[in-house]
Amino acid sequence: KLLRDRAIIYNPEDPVLYKELGWIFQHKIGNVLDDAQQYYKNQLANDMMLVVTQDPDWQGIADAPANDEEFLKVYPENSPVRKAITSAGYQTLEELHHDFRAGSKVPDKLARALGNSEEMIHKMDNFLRAEYLRDKYKLDPDMILELNNKYGNLDWRLPEAQSIYWATMGLKKTPGNRSLDCERMISQALFEAFRSGRMLIIDNKEFKSVMIVPNFDVIDSAKRVFDETIKANEDINSFVSAKNNFLKDAIVLLFNYGKFSKAREYFDMLKKENPGNNEYNISLDDFAMKEWLMEVKDGSYKKTMDIIDGLLKRSFTYIVYGDDDAAIASEKIAKAVYAKHQTEFKDVPRLILPAYTEIKKNVLEKLMQENPPEVTEILKNRLNLQRKDKTPELPGLKSEVDKWDTSVLKKINK
């Protein structure tokens, strides 16, 4: 608040302030180095969910009147909207804002006064959310819409999105629109927004756990930003190394989540940009396995969660295809990775993963939501142990799923 609500107001052209503000979101909340990082993530997400819904209408929120004064111009005193507000018992817009914040929705008495019109309720909801964002979080909906259009749909309940926001504001406000710190922060935060930029579940009671998965919507944008940053800073080799690390992580994550075509595209890109590196003169499968095992050994919280999530998703996919052996093998690997991580970091509370059953349950629920109805129905039937029916074939899909050799379990144990 000191930086965001005061310092930037008095020093709007100082990029260091924007960088420091973004760094709090990116490092203190977004990373896993602080013992309370899970608590911070949960509190931020729960707080933002008071104003940001699961699927926000960012276009409508950005198009809403920017403040009370503009609202009163758009809806003059004799308009049906103003009459409805008055008949609902509100003497001022300030009273309406207060009631909206108390319930995070258009108050029922105003909805009734608007004739329960879905269109008008939605417009009022967008206006009240826009005001809430600007007043409490100092976030401009127009800027949020601009960033979503530029980079892909960011999850604004997560710290990486706000880190990108403030670093971008730093570039916009700085004379000459150049700041190496802000440029670096955008590329790093986009990298993290890709690796772990979509929230599946939070703990809004104990604030002790949060489940985050990759956001594949922003992968191409992250790659583009790396390219632009490298071009603008040709004398700084660290950006080239950072991009290579991004490409390698992207390949493994895409492969792990069954997005094989995109993984091949990025693997070809990596080989093209590193023509003399014999390390990449192997197949995509072998490369993914090698990198995957290194990540398991590394023990990173985020990467381990990505691996377990991807393996469980693959296991459920095999179940749909009727390949029970492959499904069992994938889950065995997931359990082995989980057990290894929990054992390695049993004395480091901030790196302890959520319960395995909880992870598995949420992966399944997410798959049920994402899959076509016919695939979801097959999965439900296959998971019902009492059913004896043969799973219908799904032509053309199974070819995209490669079996993983269960001998990898031995490598994990080593």
Instruction: Please write the tens of the pLDDT for every residue from 264-300.
Output: 999 999 999 998 888 899 988 888 877 876 766 666 7
pLDDT exceeds cutoff 80 at 326? no
Q: State the pLDDT at residue 60.
A: 96
- Residues 6 or more apart whose CB falls under 8 angstroms from that of 267 comprise 251, 280, 284, 287
Q: What is the pLDDT of residues 378-411, one digit of tens each?
A: 888 888 743 444 444 433 334 334 444 445 455 5
User: Pairing relation of β-strands 210-213 and 198-202?
Assistant: antiparallel
Surface-to-core class of residue 182, CB atoms within 10 Å of its CB (0-12 exposed, 13-18 middle, 19+ buried): buried
One-letter amino acid of 50 = L
Look up residue 146 and give its two tokens.
Answer: 């601009």
Q: Between 410 and 45, where is the model more confident?
A: 45
For residues 33 and 301, is the Cβ–Cβ distance under 8 A? no
pLDDT at 294: 74
Find, among 295, 331, 322, the residue nearest to 406 by Cα.
Answer: 331
Q: Can you tell me the mean pLDDT for 40-44?
A: 89
Residue from 308, 113, 341 nearest 214 by CA: 308
What is the CB neighbour count within 10 angstroms for residue 83? Answer: 14
The closest alpha carbon to 168, from 152, 140, 147, belongs to 147
Dig out the tokens for 30 from the structure. 């977004």
Mean pLDDT over the full length of the chain: 85
Cα–Cα distance for residue pair 35/26, rounded to 1 Å? 15
Q: How many residues does the chain have?
A: 414
Q: Are 333 and 409 in contact (CB under 8 A)?
A: yes
pLDDT at 321: 77
**By C-alpha distance, which of 247, 217, 104, 225 is closest to 155?**
217
Q: Which token pair is 159?
A: 């710290």
Question: Is 211 strand, coil or helix?
Answer: strand
Q: Indicate whether 236 pLDDT > 60.
A: yes
Between CA 261 and CA 370 the distance in angstroms is 19
Please provide the DSSP assignment of 164-206 as one string.
HHHHHHHHHHSGGG--HHHHHHHHHHHHHHHHH-EEEEE-TTT
